[in-house]
Amino acid sequence: MAVTKIWPVRGRLDHSIDYAMNPEKTDADLRQPDLDCLEDVMNYAVNEEKTEKKFYVSGVNCNPAIARQQFQTVKTQFGKEGGIIAYHGYQSFAEGEVTPQEAHEIGVELAKTIWGEGFQVVVATHLNTKCLHNHFVVNSVSYLDGKRCRQKQWTDISKINDEICSKYRLNVVERHGRGIPYQLAKAEREGAPTRLNIAREAVEAALSVSCNLRELKYHLSVMGYICQFNENRKYWTIRQQDWKRPIRLIRMGEEYSNDQIRQRLRDNPPEVRKGMLHLAECKYYRRSYSSGLCKKSRHRKISGLRGLYYHYCYLLGYLPKRRLKPYQVSPALRDDLLKLNELSIEVRLLQEHQIDDLQQLFDYRKAMYEKVFMTEAEIRKLRNLKMRRSTTATKKSELQSEIEKLKEQMKDSRRQVVICDRISSRSQKMKEKIQSTREDEKNMKREEMIK
C-alpha cells in the first residue's frame, strides 16, 4: 500500500529540489539481501555490472539536471515569481512491497497522471530508509499558459494513487468516508481523553436516566453542555460555551443518530428516573477543594507552582484519591483533560527539582540553556578531531559514539527548556481558570439560595 501527502513551498526553490535529488538518498548499490555463502558475496562484490550505481531521478516536462532554472524561467516568463513557488509531496510504500525500479515507475506514472498536462515535475525515489518513497517537486506555474497549480488539481491525489497501486497489484488503504485528524484518531484508539469521547460519556450518562428529549437536554445542561435538539434539524448537536463549533451526535456513532436516540428514550422505563443523576454527582461546583481538608494535617502544605499544579490536577479529578468522570469536571477546565500528558510531565519536573516560584523556574531554565551551548561546543570540538587526517578509524568510531551521546544530552536539555516555557505560560492561565471557576460556583450557589 502507498500513502501520499503534499504541501506548498514558500521561500527558496532550490532547497526542495536539492533535497529531493540528494544522491545519498537516490542511488542504490543493487545489493541482494539474501546471499547464500561467502563465495557468492565475493563474486557479487567484484562484479562490475552490479557495482554500477543507478540514480532514480526523472523529470516530467523538464530536465532534472537543470530543473531549478527551468522552473524559474517559466515563472519569470509569466511574471509569477511570488507566492507559492512549488509544491513538495511524497508517496511512501510499505517495507518490502516494491523494488526501487517499481517504486520509481509508479511515482513517474502518478506525476504524469496528475500534473503531466501542463506542469513541470521532478520525481526522485529515495532508497535510504526501509520504506522506499518518492518525492515530487511540482512547479506552481504551468509552462503552457502560466496558470497556477491550485489545490483542486491535487485533491484527488489519494484516489489516483490507489488506482495506480491497484494496477500494479499493490494493497490500497481502506477509506471510510471523511477522515479525521491523525492525532484525534490516535487518541481515540488509545482511549485518551478527547472532546468527542468526553461528550460521548456525558450523553450516555444522560441517556441512561432520561425518558424524553426534555429530560435529556436538562441533564446535559447540568453537565455544562448546550444542546440543539430541534426536531427539524437533520443532525442534533451539543457544545460547551467556550467551543467555537458544536459536535454532531452522529459523529459518536450510528447509535447516536436522531432516530436511535428517540428510540432509546422511548425504550427507557419510567423507573430510570429513580436513578436520576443527583446534582451532587454531576454538578462540578458541588465538589469543593476545601472539603475534607479543614482538619489539621500532619503533612506540610505545598504552595507556589507545585501547589498550583496539584490543586489543578485535583480539580481535573486526576489525583488517585479523587477520580472524577470527565463530565463532572468544570466546563471551564474540561478541555485541559486533553493535555494530561503535558501536565504530568510539568508536575514531575517541578517536583523533581523542588521548584516553587517563577524565579526558581527561570534559574533552572537558564542553567539548561547554558548546558545546551556547552554541549554544542563539545560536539564541535569532537567533530574537528574526527575530521583530522591523523585520526584512525577506531578513534573516529569512538568519537562518533561520544558525539551521539552528547546529542541526546543536548536534546534532553532543550526539552527541559521547552517544558519550563510551558509552565511559565500555563501557570498564569491556570490561576485565571481557577478564579473563573470559583466565581461560577458562587453565582450558582447564590441562585440556589434565591430559589
**What pLDDT, in 10s, does the model give residues 215-255?**
888 888 888 898 999 888 889 999 988 888 898 998 888 88
Is the pTM here over 0.75, yes or no?
Answer: no
d(CA 191, CA 341): 13
Query: 163 with 202, same domain?
Result: no
Res 289: pLDDT? 39
Exposed/middle/buried for residue 386 (C-beta within 10 Å: 0-12, 13-18, 19+): middle
Which of 167, 195, 229 corresponds to the end of one domain?
Answer: 167
Res 185: pLDDT? 63
In the block, cell 501520499 appears at 4
Domain that holds residue 57: 2-167
Domain count, the chain: 3
Query: 187 with 137, same domain?
Result: no
| Residue ranges for the chain with pLDDT beneath 50 | 29-54, 176-178, 278-281, 283-297
Query: 28 with 142, same domain?
Result: yes
Query: 348 with 446, same domain?
Result: yes
Does residue 105 lie in a domain region? yes
Does residue 158 lie in a domain region? yes
Query: 189 with 87, same domain?
Result: no
Does residue 283 lie in a domain region? no
**Cα–Cα distance list, 294 to 290, 304, 352 (Å):** 7, 20, 28
User: 3-class SS at 365?
Assistant: helix
Res 43: pLDDT? 35
Does residue 8 lie in a domain region? yes
Query: 420 with 390, same domain?
Result: yes
Query: 73 with 101, same domain?
Result: yes
Which of 134, 167, 200 corresponds to the end of one domain?
Answer: 167
Query: 207 with 163, same domain?
Result: no
Res 410: pLDDT? 93
Query: 347 with 418, same domain?
Result: yes
d(CA 416, CA 333): 25
Q: What is the CATH number of the domain that holds 41?
A: 3.30.930.30
Query: 191 with 154, same domain?
Result: no
Which of 136, 167, 198 corresponds to the end of one domain?
Answer: 167
Query: 89 with 7, same domain?
Result: yes
Note whether 117 and 153 are within 8 A (CB): no
Query: 196 with 154, same domain?
Result: no
Exposed/middle/buried for residue 397 (C-beta within 10 Å: 0-12, 13-18, 19+): exposed
Res 171: pLDDT? 78
